[in-house]
Amino acid sequence: MPATVVVSQSLFPESIALMRESGLDVVVRDSDEPVGGEGLAAMVADADALLCQLTDAVDESVLAAGPRLRVVATCSAGFDHIDVAAASRHGVAVTNTPGVLHEDTADLTFALILASARRVVEGDAFVRAGRFKRWTLHQEQLGLPVHGARLGIVGMGQIGRAVARRAAHGFGMEVCYHSRTRLPADIERELGVRHLSFEELLGESDVVSLHAPLTPATHHLVDDAALQRMKPTAILVNTSRGPLVDEAALARALGSGQIAGAGLDVYEDEPRVHPDLLALTERVVLLPHLGSATEKTRRQMAEIAATNVVAALTGDVPPNVVNAEAVDVG
């Protein structure tokens, strides 16, 4: 009897075919809406694998409902929506899709930096409203310079490094960073970056860009106290995880002029956005989680997730297990 894979949300057909061609029974829920905890629990009752997405909360109750589960494969690089410790207790491997989205996310980071600093969205709306009558020296959309500015990167993984390369080599920016683990000196020299404490980075940077994972230590990393350390001309960009930022505190800082602007692609209670942020339009750009949203990358993510499932259910070790020490996937 073939092993059964349940797919919680719509997936690209070629990734479904990959699993079926490997002899797996694949059951696909054809919807882009998250099913919710009880729905996921019902889906995994007779499943050997769950292929989920970052909007699916896979907790103890879901894992306990799937006695046959051997792997939970998320079609995302982040896996904070999965209780990894609980999965390990149940002997379930957890896999993700790293290594394919860092360049796209770095591109989008710079889109947000430029859009908020140079007021691109405001300018577009200004033109579409028929308000552009002439060039003037003091026109409404005067912005902040990006070339030559100081960029502070929080979290120096693959995405942070990709952003640093664009900043230093493409925009002549001075790049500093803060990370839980400091980079080796030769990599710092190669990237042209210098390490600072988090507090120093906040105080010195013209743009602060967040690329840290969501952990208990990074939840609300940017709060009232952090925002008070930033320059009044500074911009905050977040393309990592929404809960790194206290959105109420950010809205207050933007509304009072404590900082100059923000570019956000992720939100604390996604897809809900704090209403006070929605009300701000000057130098504030809000995107619907587009970090990895190119056709090529999203298809690669789905293929990797499917490959992880096939490996786990056919006796091989999946290449992207995040709890390998706790789980024997052989």
Q: Is the pLDDT at 327 greater than 70, yes or no? A: no
User: pLDDT digits over 218-249, tens only?
Assistant: 999 999 999 999 999 999 999 999 999 999 99
What's the token pair of residue 247? 């959105």
Please report, as a single letter, which amino acid is at residue 292: S
Identify which of 255, 159, 248 has the alpha carbon closest to the alpha carbon of residue 212.
Answer: 159
Could you tell me if residue 329 is inside a domain? no
Q: Within 13 A of 200's CA, how many CA atoms are on the CB side?
A: 9
Same domain, 81 and 137: no
Q: Is the pLDDT at 62 greater than 70, yes or no? A: yes
What pLDDT is attached to residue 328? 59
User: pLDDT digits over 94-137, tens only?
Assistant: 999 999 999 999 999 999 999 999 999 999 999 999 999 999 99
DSSP secondary structure string for all residues of 210-227? E-PPP-TTTTT-B-HHHH
Q: CATH number, domain at 268?
A: 3.40.50.720
Task: Give catalytic residues, as residue numbers.
Answer: 241, 270, 289
What pLDDT is attached to residue 318? 84
Same domain, 173 and 274: yes
Same domain, 80 and 149: no
Q: Is the pLDDT at 326 greater than 70, yes or no? A: no
Average pLDDT in the chain? 95
What pLDDT is attached to residue 200? 98
Could you tell me if residue 330 is inside a domain? no
Which has the higher per-residue pLDDT, 316 or 56? Answer: 56
Q: How many domains does the chain have?
A: 2
> Which of 286, 304, 324 is the C-terminal boundary of a domain?
286
Same domain, 191 and 275: yes
Q: Is the pLDDT at 330 greater than 50, yes or no? A: no
Q: Is the pLDDT at 325 greater than 70, yes or no? A: no
Average pLDDT over residues 254-273: 97
The percent of residues in the chain predicted with pLDDT above 90, rounded, is: 95
The model's confidence at residue 37, banded by pLDDT at 50, 70 and 90, is confident
> Which of 269, 286, 303 is the C-terminal boundary of a domain?
286
Could you tell me if residue 85 is inside a domain? yes
Q: Is the pLDDT at 316 greater than 90, yes or no? A: no
User: pLDDT digits over 77-99, tens only?
Assistant: 999 999 999 999 999 999 999 99
What's the token pair of residue 224? 């009232």
Same domain, 158 and 71: no
The percent of residues in the chain predicted with pLDDT above 70, rounded, is: 98
Domain that holds residue 65: 4-100+295-313
Same domain, 247 and 309: no
DSSP secondary structure string for all residues of 284-327? EEE-SS-TT-SHHHHHHHHHHHHHHHHHHHTTSPPTTBSSTTT-
Same domain, 72 and 117: no
Average pLDDT over residues 21-49: 95
